[in-house]
Amino acid sequence: MQYLILFLMQKTLKKYFGYDEFRPLQAEIISHVLEKNNAFVLMPTGGGKSLCFQLPALKFPGITLVISPLIALMKDQVDALRANGVEAEFINSSLTSTEINRIENRSRKGEIKILYLAPERLALSTFQYFLKSLEISLIAIDEAHCISEWGHDFRPDYRNLAKLRNIFPSVPVIALTATATDKVREDIVRQLEMKDAPVFISSFNRPNLTYVVRPKKNAFANLVNLLKKYPDRSVIIYCFSRKETESIAADLKQKGFKAAAYHAGLENEKRRKTQEKFVRDEVQIIVATIAFGMGIDKPDVRLIVHYSLPKSIEGYYQETGRAGRDGLPSECVLFYSYGDTMKHNYFLRDIQDENERKGAQKKLAQVVEYAELRTCRRAYLLGYFSEKQEAEGCGGCDVCLRPKEEVDATIISQKILSAIVRTGERFGGRYVMSVLRGSRVKKVLEFGHDQLSVFGIAKDSSEEEIMYFINLLIAKGYAAKSEGEYPMIYLTNLGKKFLNNREKIFLLSPQFEKESELEVKKKKGALEYDTQLFEQLRAIRKSLAEQKGVPPFIVFSDVALQEMAYYFPQNKESFLQISGVGAMKLSEYGEKFMGVIGDYAKKNNLVEKQNISHRDAPSLRLKNNRNQDKEVLARRIHGGAGSTYMETKERLNAGMSLGRIASERKLSLVTIIAHIEKLKESGEEIEIEHLRLPEKRFQEIKVAFEKSGGALLSPVLNILGEDYSYEELRVARLFL
């Protein structure tokens, strides 16, 4: 049965990776891959793409090949897998021939489950011969957009993947990427000959990220103030040129920050060491060029700053996606000056192919449009990837966080739209602004626009204010921009109607002075953890990581440390309930961390809190709520957000399996079982007979519950051993 397979995979998920539940779409993708089918996965950075091939790799008998373009990323992922007890290796140009021979021999002997490869290796006939000697069960292609010339990060070496497909035509392939437009998706599927593969598209929304655009005035001083908000936290700053990265990194060092430049012009060894120091928290800030990708699998980057304009929305989304991969609140700030577009356009003029040049100009124009938005930035990013945001505002960008105060903007709007018409609807917003402010620049005088009635009629308004309302009128549909290197503004039918009928218009008031006061949105339900203990745990984590020669996040994530500093776990059972704690990490680090937590709790008179957010939660709740009034519980189940229980009930009573309900509702099995427990506890009539486990297995679980003398799951699992999962026990408990 499908749900039994998923039970076992969830058990593997906890054992090796320390997580109790799958993220959205993961269970569905993993089930599909386990049936040896091809799959194309489009999932944002931090969404859990890697587990979609790492878990099946542990289930399959042979080896899983992972094609990855980034050497540093390979090392980080292999280190993380080894820390979790998974046999993994990588082969790329950073290794000596002796090291490669050792890994190849281990692979032939079946000692490795996951082997990461650089794409250029596939072009070597000797390496192809080596691959033919292996029992390959799955091929995973990470950063699949690199195969498409239409993508923002095309890599010619990825074309070698066609050879891999020819050598192993019957081996299932899973292609994964975080950023791909419809055109790029089609190209990936065609290049990899995966026409029949389903496309699994996860939401592009990263709710823990806050998007902010600030005017590029006194930029360095504002940057320093911004960095002070993130003491001792990891930050990436993107710049336009190598020279700028060196300059800003040097200036930040003078201000006392641990900063380093990172770009393609550095020697390989220097670049490697810089990246390693950043990953290991020895350097706080990396200043990098926007043209050079940083293959960093670092989950705790708290701030991404674009000091210069990115080239495309895809690139911007991917670069900001390096923030908050652990799901904790993080900020993405873009310093915007229209003058930065001139730097890009200077280089775009050198592109000989006209179609390619126009495509690049269009991508740049979209970035400018994003930077000048007066509507929700998150909605714009989602819309770019063909996803609609349901809510009117996201509450996580500077536009939505800004105080909502409408003003009568009729007069300024009339002035702007009239100036657009009077100048012939063939100029950009900044030219229109110059005319309105009465600027006697050469271009205005040459066209004779200093003689127009609209010349100087808004001289009392600042440049910033006029540009704000121009962009807002475009956003509201009263005006529009043409495409091309020099976009022109023209009136829409709505704008013409507004002028002709002398209508009134109310628009949001500009709040420029409050830009710096915006705060990163706190994640709903965030833990109010003990910050002092958290810092102590961070110090221990760093010390252990240095001993092991791995980045600190491979020992434990910030999420895990925050949970430790909130729940104060002091025994193996409760420590295992911390997110990211599996069997290997419990054995390796549990005693050290529990010792520190215990000492801190004793010194500060703190007691361990019950962690009901993980696998034993339902049993604890059942025990604690046994005397709760059923009418109160029923109101919770039927009312408001509780209607999610009734959706589960409808499918349950229709005879659906747990796996199908979870798949249709895009929820984890753990959540669906919790719904059933609540429904049963509240007295709802539900049909669950079809969920009963095979009789022999059920009887064994029943006897174990009787021996344990209670309803808790952990004691029962200790009696039964590793052949059983928590989810099976919870299903069996429904019938006891």
Q: Are residues 361 and 438 both part of a single domain? A: no
Structural domain for 548, as ranges: 531-603
Asked which of 55-69, 142-156, 459-473, 617-631 is least confident by mean pLDDT, the reply is 617-631
Average pLDDT over residues 48-65: 92
CATH at residue 37: 3.40.50.300
CATH of the domain at 443: 1.10.10.10
| Residue 650 included in any domain | no
pLDDT digits (tens, 9 = 90+) for 219-241: 899 999 999 999 889 999 999 88
Is 502 in the same domain as 575? Answer: no
- Of 381, 401, 421, which residue constitutes the final position of a domain? 401
Kindly state whether residues 157 and 107 are assigned to the same domain.
Answer: yes
pLDDT given at position 642: 44
Q: Is residue 540 very low, low, confident or very high in pLDDT (cuts 50, 70, 90)?
A: very high
Residues 314, 232 share a domain: yes
Residues 6+ apart with CB under 8 A from 212: 331, 332, 333, 334, 397, 398, 515, 518
Tokens matching residue 622 = 């059942």
pLDDT at 512: 54
Give whole-number Cα distances, 405 to 402, 508, 511, 515, 566, in Å. Answer: 9, 6, 9, 15, 39
Average pLDDT over every residue of 487-502: 90
Q: What is the pLDDT of residue 618?
A: 34
**365 and 487 fall within a common domain:** no
d(CA 414, CA 460): 15
CATH number of the domain encompassing residue 570 = 1.10.150.80
How many C-beta neighbours within 10 Å does residue 156 have? 11
**Residue at a domain's end among 557, 576, 603:** 603
Q: Is 580 a domain residue? A: yes
pTM of the model: 0.70
Q: What is the pLDDT of residue 668?
A: 67
User: What pLDDT, on a 0 to 100 scale, did the predictor assign at position 518?
Assistant: 53
Q: Are strands 489-491 and 479-481 parallel, antiparallel or unpaired?
A: antiparallel
Q: Are residues 249 and 323 in the same domain?
A: yes
Please state, as a whole number, how many other Cβ atoms lie within 10 Å of the Cβ of residue 163.
Answer: 14
DSSP-derived secondary structure letter, 24: T
Express each pLDDT in 305-332 by its tens digit: 999 999 889 889 988 988 998 889 999 9
pLDDT in tens, 89-146: 999 888 889 999 999 999 999 999 999 998 888 888 899 999 999 999 999 998 888 8
Shared-domain flag, residues 371 and 394? yes
Query: Are residues 381 and 481 located together in one domain of the fold?
Result: no
Output the pLDDT for position 691. Answer: 85
Query: 378 or 201, which is more confident?
Result: 378
**Residue 18 pLDDT > 90, yes or no?**
no
Residue 405, number of CB atoms within 10 A of its CB: 9
Average pLDDT score, the chain: 83
- How buried is residue 81: exposed, middle or buried, by Cβ count under 10 Å (0-12/13-18/19+)? buried
Residue 680 placed within a domain: no
pLDDT band at 676 (very low <50, low <70, confident <90, very high): confident
Query: Of 145, 174, 201, which closes a domain?
Result: 201
Same domain flag for 25 and 160:
yes
Query: Based on the structure, what is the number of domains in the chain?
Result: 5
Q: What angle do CA 497, 501, 503 make, to 5 degrees?
A: 90
The per-residue pLDDT for 636 is: 45
CA distances to 59, 706, 717 from 16, rounded to whole Å, are 12, 30, 17
pLDDT at 14 over 80: yes
Instruction: Choose the most confident range, by mean pLDDT, from 240-254, 268-282, 694-708.
Output: 240-254
Q: Is residue 423 part of a domain?
A: yes
* Domain match, 375 and 268 both: yes
Identify whether 654 is part of a domain.
no
Q: Per-residue pLDDT for 152 more than 70? A: no
pLDDT at 437 over 50: yes
Q: What is the pLDDT of residues 343-375, one digit of tens each?
A: 777 777 777 777 777 888 888 888 888 988 878
Report CA Rg, the chain.
29
611-670: per-residue pLDDT in tens?
755 444 333 333 333 333 344 445 444 544 345 778 888 888 888 888 788 777 766 677
One domain for residues 453 and 307: no
| Nearest CA-CA partner of 496 in 435, 421, 415, 433 | 421
Give per-residue burial for 269-302: e unless 16+ CB within 10 Å, then b. eebeebbeebbbbebbbbbbbbeebbebbbbbbb
Helix (H, G, I), strand (E, B) or coil at 42: strand
Residue 94 confidence (pLDDT):
82
Give burial (CB, 10 Å; 0-12/13-18/19+) of 175: buried
Q: Is the residue at 590 inside a domain?
A: yes
Query: What is the per-residue pLDDT for 389?
Result: 78
Q: What is the pLDDT of residue 630?
A: 46
Residue 719 lies in a domain: yes
Query: Residue 520 is encoded by which pair of tokens?
Result: 């990163």
d(CA 180, CA 487): 26
Examine the domain organization and report whether 380 and 238 are in the same domain. yes
Q: Is the model's pLDDT at 294 over the cut of 80?
A: no
CA-to-CA distance for 67 and 338, rounded, in angstroms? 39
Question: What pLDDT band is residue 516 in, cutting at 50, 70 and 90?
Answer: very low
Given a cut of 50, whether residue 6 has pLDDT beyond it is yes
Average pLDDT, integer, range 466-479: 86
Establish if 682 belongs to a structural domain.
Answer: no
Residue 245 pLDDT exceeds 90? yes
- 8-state DSSP, 110: T
